[in-house]
């Protein structure tokens, strides 16, 4: 099972506004598989020894897992990878929830963000173009409020990764929160993103589910159906009943 646009990486420089689309060679893609391995590989190729995690050139990578985008339960994982402000080492935070589904929807294996914006900004990515726009009065709002405002503008199916008040205040422990309820869990990744004056990333206008069928589509659907039936009877699981869920 793999995405139809497998291997595409988008790199955006917030300082210059430049965006370029890269293709990972098939051999490399198969060796890495996607997710944290791909994101770490991309980070290492952009991080010289001793680079300060809050340097403008420091990269933040968001990468979907190898099967992100498939319409089956438990397959949506996004790895957020950067050099940690807290430890000085690489941090790979695997985040569940539908954001990785959104990366697939805009035909990306990974999004790489470098540079520092002149003012607080929102990065908007869809299948056809990239926009860096002012964050305006979103700065300092809770991540839930940021998600609600941006979905009101870009559509209810838009996916949003946002920095909240802790990141804006420069706290080293701040998280990046994906789609309102799925935070990075370690490494202070919200602080690294905030150092770029990046308040949010919006994935808009995509077509979720743009994947090739599973090798055994019948079994994959049977497993999803089993989870759906079990989750419907569990109050703690009902919020993740619909695909892509997180298993």
Q: What's the rounded Cα separation, in Å, for the pair 57 and 200?
A: 18
Q: What is the pLDDT of residues 46-94, one digit of tens each?
A: 999 899 998 999 999 999 887 776 677 666 789 999 999 888 899 999 8
Mean pLDDT, rounded, of the chain? 86
- Of the CA atoms within 13 Å of residue 156, those in its CB half-sphere come to 0
Instruction: Give the Cα separation of 232 and 236 in Å (integer).
Output: 9
- pLDDT for 190 equals 95
My answer on whether omega of the bond before 12 falls inside 30° of 0, hence cis, is: no
Instruction: Assess contact for 109 and 90: CB atoms under 8 A.
Output: no
Taking the model in full, what pTM does it have? 0.85
Instruction: Read off the pLDDT of each residue in 28-56 and give the average, rounded to a whole number.
Output: 91
- For 7-29, the pLDDT digits (tens) are 889 999 999 999 999 999 888 88
């Amino acid at each position: 099972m793999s995405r139809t646009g497998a291997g595409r990486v988008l790199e955006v420089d917030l300082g210059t506004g430049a965006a370029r689309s890269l293709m990972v060679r098939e051999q490399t893609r198969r060796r890495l598989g996607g997710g944290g391995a791909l994101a770490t590989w991309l980070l290492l190729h952009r991080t010289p020894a001793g680079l300060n995690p809050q340097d403008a050139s420091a990269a933040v990578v968001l990468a979907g897992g190898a099967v992100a985008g498939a319409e089956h339960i438990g397959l949506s994982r996004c790895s957020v990878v950067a050099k940690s402000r807290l430890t000085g080492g690489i941090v790979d935070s695997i985040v569940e929830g539908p954001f990785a589904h959104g990366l697939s929807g805009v035909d990306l294996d990974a999004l790489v963000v470098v540079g520092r914006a002149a003012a607080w900004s929102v990065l908007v990515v869809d299948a056809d173009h990239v926009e860096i726009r002012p964050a305006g009065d979103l700065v300092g709002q809770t991540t839930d409020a940021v998600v609600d405002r941006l979905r009101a503008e870009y559509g209810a199916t838009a996916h949003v990764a946002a920095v909240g008040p802790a990141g804006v205040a420069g706290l080293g422990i701040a998280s990046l929160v994906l789609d309102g309820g799925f935070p990075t869990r370690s490494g202070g990744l919200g602080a690294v993103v905030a150092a770029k004056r990046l308040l949010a990333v919006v994935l808009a206008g995509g077509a979720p589910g743009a994947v090739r069928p599973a090798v055994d589509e019948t079994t994959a659907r049977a497993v999803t159906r089993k989870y759906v039936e079990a989750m419907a009877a569990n109050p703690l699981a009902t919020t993740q009943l619909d695909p892509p869920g997180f298993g």
